[in-house]
Homo-oligomer: A and B are copies of this chain.
């Protein structure tokens, strides 16, 4: 058997393929994050990417395939900061560092944040497995870690799960509700830098034993 039977041969992608797939994904991120899955159209993605609609379908198996690919890429990058929580570090500094990274990410990648938020709000129809299989174990692991820190008296006691939810809620809020923030707090510097400082200061107070 020279070539393995009934297996898809990967065939490494050409430079053009790599480039165009990236262009398409970037355009799709714009469109999906702004209109949600059902609200986004292939024509919009085509126009945003500068490619023709059939050409997009040459690179991806369909609208849903693009969306799924975006969510996959998202999860990997999104989970990293939580993964990096170090059991051997100083609890307070570890968590504050996590919060800081999360704030930076939601400011640097608001589109990703909104894409994720939109998907969850709609009941995570295309992400259920990802949540259960990818996020859940990590969440449980870090909950246990934080609980350990609290039991040791190195953090103020509280429910670790709700603590993590609090952090997510606050860090995502500034990305997801940007339109609201911009209307209510027109001073951009106060909104951006103030947010980071406020959130950090707030959690420092909450977490200090």
Contact = CB atoms under 8 A, between A and B. Distances in A.
Contact of A161 (B35, B159, B176, B184): B184
Given A36-B39, A121-B117, A183-B132, A168 B176 contact: no
Contacts of A190: 159, 161
Interface in A19-41: 34-40
Interface residues of A, number: 52
A57 interface: no
Contacts of A177: 117, 120-121, 165, 168-169
Copies of this chain in the oligomer: 2
Q: Is the interface of A mostly helix, strand, loop or mixed?
A: helix
A53 interface: no
Interface stretch (A8-16, A66-74, A86-94, A200-208): A200-208
Q: Can you list the 8 inter-chain pairs with the closest CB atoms, starting with the nearest?
A: A38-B39, A169-B173, A162-B198, A124-B179, A36-B36, A131-B183, A169-B169, A39-B39
